[in-house]
Amino acid sequence: MSKIGKQPIKIPEGVNVVISNSEVVVSGPKGEIKHSLAKAVSVEKKEDDYLEVSTKDRSKQGRANFGTTRALLANIVLGVSEGWAKQLELVGTGYKSETDGKKLTLIVGFSHPVIIEETEGITYKIEKNVITVEGIDRQLVGHLSAKIRAVRPPEPYKGKGIKYIDEVIRRKAGKAAKTAGA
């Protein structure tokens, strides 16, 4: 039995949870997310504002879905109440980013600017050389952050590129000096 799956999910004030037979709809001040449940998992709402996830069968797949469903629902509840954000930093001379509404334009040393198209539910904020990706869906925020980072991943010699704000880049030494007299 999953230790994570057993933990109840606290529903914050202002968040509404509606459970139908195979779907959970969570709505809050930031928005609404629907999540379909696996066949072997059930969710019930307790009186004291808690969600409890349980498994219907003890198969290996049922136990795996049990913990995963609990984690996904906890992320959804937190997302509709507070939201999720990832920050990326542009490191390099002349590297910059611009946003016009929901479209993100990156100028990172290529002969052309790279344009990241708008995605529903995601907003971009730019302060100096830091890009903040915000939204209510944790998976979508992480996916788009990884997509932005993949445009120009940080390189190990000078550290130039797009990196997460808390990411540490392992640096390599450059070429060794030529031996004298060879």
Token duo for residue 71? 């984690």
Query: Pick from 35, 50, 81: which residue ends a domain?
Result: 81
- The pLDDT, as a whole number, for residue 179 is 55
Distance of CA 86 to the CA centre of its chain: 7
Q: Give 160-177 pLDDT, tens digit per residue.
A: 999 999 999 999 888 875
The pTM assigned to this predicted structure is 0.85
Q: CA 122, CA 156: separation in Å to the nearest integer?
A: 30
Token duo for residue 105? 């334009």
The reply to whether 174 falls in a domain is no
Residues 33 and 77 in one domain: yes
Q: Is residue 131 within 8 Å of 163, Cβ to Cβ?
A: no
Q: Give 66-85 pLDDT, tens digit per residue.
A: 889 999 999 999 999 999 99
- The pLDDT, as a whole number, for residue 46 is 86
Q: Give 78-134 pLDDT, tens digit per residue.
A: 999 999 999 999 999 999 999 987 799 999 999 999 999 988 989 999 999 999 999
- The pLDDT, as a whole number, for residue 34 is 94
Residues 88 and 159 in one domain: yes
